Structure 1
């Protein structure tokens, strides 16, 4: 594959991801209960008092983390690939002690050693090579600073993936990296002093369709290898039948997420 073709494919992927999240921005918060749970766990790794610090919220989405950081006294820089997400973040956080930037996590425009802390919650899994954004995050964090991130790892949405595998041969759920691959990416980025915690978080749904509505509602619709054809009623009925095999005694369906929370000290 030529270098030009690789660059074009990467550009197309980033455009597709940005477009998906932009479309979801207006109603994102209605579907983001899981994302807020993870954000709260990530924010718990940082000091309660951030007065006098400057924090980058990378992949800020609608500004949930940014708002909490502002409340702790930080000056916040919100960065996201989606202009519409930044618009929603501005609506939530206002303009006092906060600025907004369209940014690619793999090629940040900020000067080196710009931030006391960097926070990135459930954004880095959209990068093909985790070492690239981690290296950029390390670069823009001050030598005495810290960065905290959360990302999904292998085993996330295992029930949905298993159910779809009984329906057709297409890829409907993104593949996630392992915890060991995260450790390798950290080493490649030059981040050597870190702690990782990888809890499982299970969300419960009435139907598989409800789960997929949440995934669509947050913009998590870009899946490599997915069929471009329309998903018909019979296909969805078969999916429900397969997913129901995972139901608990009261008929609720699990959506399991394997989350990796990382805190890196420089």
Structure 2
């Protein structure tokens, strides 16, 4: 899958509408989302950090609340998501305590003070992001010095077979473009999020039917909200041809491959001291 370079591929209102519509069924189709949440927890456990204020950026139905509340006693936890409906459902199901908050907002314009968060946690938000430079600068702005940013996303080697099947049918994009690991590392460094550590995992999933596949990939952020998507409904015959291309095994099942990128970085304060020194050659005296 081809990644992209900071172009505005996505239409934000469509993303919000899609997650609002999927909110009630999200927890029934979040296998991959929860898998990545659990993997992030395992990566977070060995990291020693005192945390009073935590932001779950792109929190969806707030599945991380229990872990954060139990692991960081007395912390203030903010769940931020673009979809008001997912936050509403999460609050109803989990009964937020006095130090757990829901915040409906845009990830590019987080309504929090600078240097206010100890941890920013983000699971599967990046597949919906147009501009990671802008996002990472905003994360750096709200993190305290020595604060932690930890995240997961899909890599460009995800859905290769699905992408290839669609490419044989038309020229439109059917799966969101995804960032390469080196693009993410570069953007982190540019924003001031340093000492980045990224690792890549691969997951193969077998589906019995296409409906379950599309519910899952919608939940994780791979369905198409791009500007150059198919301008009309996809015909049944075309859709069936794509599915038949995916059923390439004797058991008549659909196999999907995922590349999952996990990473973390620190908001290390840059030194204000200018480390570069300049000499006027004319002032250098010859040794006698």
User: Which TM-score tier does this pair reach, normalised by the shorter chain?
Assistant: 0.7 to 0.9
Inter-partner Cα distance in structure 2 for 1:238 and 1:244? 10
Counterpart position of 2:282 = none
Gaps of 5+ in 1: 1-8
Gaps of 5+ in 2: 1-6, 268-288
Counterpart position of 2:29 = 31
Inter-partner Cα distance in structure 2 for 1:258 and 1:12? 21
- C-alpha RMSD of the superposition: 2.3
Counterpart position of 2:226 = 223
Counterpart position of 2:79 = 78
More helix by share: 1
| Superposed displacement of residue 212, structure 1 | 1.8
Counterpart position of 1:68 = 67
Work out whether residues 63 and 88 of structure 1, in 8 Å CA contact, stay in contact via their aligned partners in 2: no
Structure 2 CA distance for partners of 1:221 and 1:70, relative to 1, 3 Å:
farther
Counterpart position of 2:240 = 237
What is the DSSP-based 3-state SS (H/G/I as helix, E as strand, rest coil) of the residue aligned with 2:11?
helix
Inter-partner Cα distance in structure 2 for 1:47 and 1:217? 26
TM (norm. structure 2) is 0.82
| Superposed displacement of residue 125, structure 1 | 2.2
Inter-partner Cα distance in structure 1 for 2:10 and 2:39? 32
Greater Cα radius of gyration, structure 1 or 2: 2
Structure 2 CA distance for partners of 1:50 and 1:77, relative to 1, 3 Å:
farther
Greater alpha carbon shift after TM alignment, 76-85 vs 215-224: 215-224
Structure 2 CA distance for partners of 1:170 and 1:187, relative to 1, 3 Å:
same
Matched ranges for 1:117-196 at <5 A: 117-196=119-198
Greater alpha carbon shift after TM alignment, 88-97 vs 21-30: 88-97
| Superposed displacement of residue 26, structure 1 | 0.6
Q: Over residues 122-164 of structure 1, what are the superposed CA-to-partner deviations in whole Å (9 max), with x where a residue is unaligned?
A: 0122111111111111111111221101111211111111111
Structure 2 CA distance for partners of 1:11 and 1:235, relative to 1, 3 Å:
closer
Aligned pairs, how many?
256
TM (norm. structure 1) is 0.88
| Superposed displacement of residue 51, structure 1 | 7.7
Matched ranges for 1:34-73 at <5 A: 34-47=32-45, 53-72=52-71, 73=73
